[in-house]
Amino acid sequence: MEKIGLLAGVGRLPVECAMAAKAMGYEVYAVGLIPGVDEDLKSCTAGYKDISIAQLQAIIDYLKENGVTKVTMLGKVTKEILYSGQHVQPDLRMLSLIFTLPDRKDDTLMLSFVAELAKDGLEALDQTALIKPLMPAKGVLTKRQPTEDELKDMKFGMEMAREIGRLDVGQTAVVKQLGVMALEAIEGTDACIRRGGELARGGAVVAKVAKPKQDLRFDVPAVGMTTIESMIAVGAKALVIEAGRTLLVDKDRVIELADANDITIAVME
């Protein structure tokens, strides 16, 4: 039985991946990188261990001890942890990696992390290899269709999100009436939605897309229940994601919650 390592952050996506891999006959060994990893991950993997993202050598040792040679990384681990002041103690290997970084852009961090794994024979896989069905095709997923104004904002929002993606800053834009309310940076998608939605004072449109040169081994955009919950909290009324390039987690529950709150969800190219 082939083994796969799963480096897991917060959210449902790591669980979806682990269950898909298990159904396909893989043996999954997971590492919970930060507090708050979904508890269900423990029950659908062959092995699970909590190891801080800062303890790079311990992560590598655990994977190698279990005969893992291929790794996928899923779930939310924002780089805010680098600035949070939390008591995160990097080991010598992580410190060495951090000190050699030319900057702290998302791709810079992740490419360096992937390179460290490769030094020990751990190959980072395409994040979507096991969960392609979670990427919806073009169309409207909810009962309510977007209005003409919302469609204009959706297209505008995707343009803005692609531009910050090109700059390797973020993947989410919150817009209203062709004005930018918020662009995602270090705070992550949900905080961006809440900040932009509050400024919009209701009726905001949220756009989430892949980067123009998206590396499928990490940081593939994903939306799920917390996305809709954040939108509800600030009265945002429309979500657009990129067809075939954005993961939709817990699709049925997401659509049900969106329908119950008169939110429209569109998938566009």
269 residues of the chain, pLDDT tens digit each: 799 999 999 999 999 999 999 999 999 999 999 999 999 999 999 999 999 999 999 999 999 999 999 999 999 887 666 665 555 788 999 999 989 999 988 889 899 999 999 999 999 999 888 898 999 999 999 999 999 999 999 999 999 999 999 999 999 999 999 999 999 998 899 999 999 999 999 999 999 999 999 988 888 999 999 999 999 999 999 999 999 999 999 999 999 999 999 999 999 99
Residues 176 and 217 in one domain: yes
The pLDDT assigned to 78 comes to 73
Q: Are 142 and 258 in contact (CB under 8 A)?
A: yes
Q: Is there a single domain that holds both residue 208 and residue 98? A: no
Q: How high is the pLDDT of residue 87?
A: 58
Query: Is residue 224 located within the same domain as residue 158?
Result: yes
pLDDT value at residue 265:
98
Domain boundary among 124, 149, 179: 124
Contact of 33 with 53, CB cutoff 8 Å: yes
Look up the CATH number of the domain holding residue 164.
3.40.140.80
Q: Of the candidates 177, 164, 185, which has an alpha carbon nearest to the alpha carbon of residue 237?
A: 177
On whether both 143 and 111 belong to a single domain, the answer is: no
Whether residue 34 is found in the same domain as residue 151? no
Q: At which of 72, 89, 124 does a domain end?
A: 124
Domain end marker among 63, 90, 124: 124
Whether 201 is in a domain gets the answer yes
pTM for this one?
Answer: 0.86
Beta bridge partners, 139, equal: 267
Residues 88, 152: one domain? no
Non-local (6+) Cβ contacts of 208 within 8 A are: 161, 171, 172, 189, 221, 223, 227, 239, 240, 241, 242, 246
Could you give the CA distance from residue 167 to residue 172 in angstroms, rounded to a whole number? 13
Cβ neighbours of 27 (radius 10 Å): 16
Shared domain check, 104 and 57: yes
Number of independent structural domains in the chain: 2
The domain of 231 spans 135-268
Identify the pLDDT of residue 105: 87
Query: Nearest CA to 207 among 140, 157, 139?
Result: 157
Residues 150 and 202 in one domain: yes
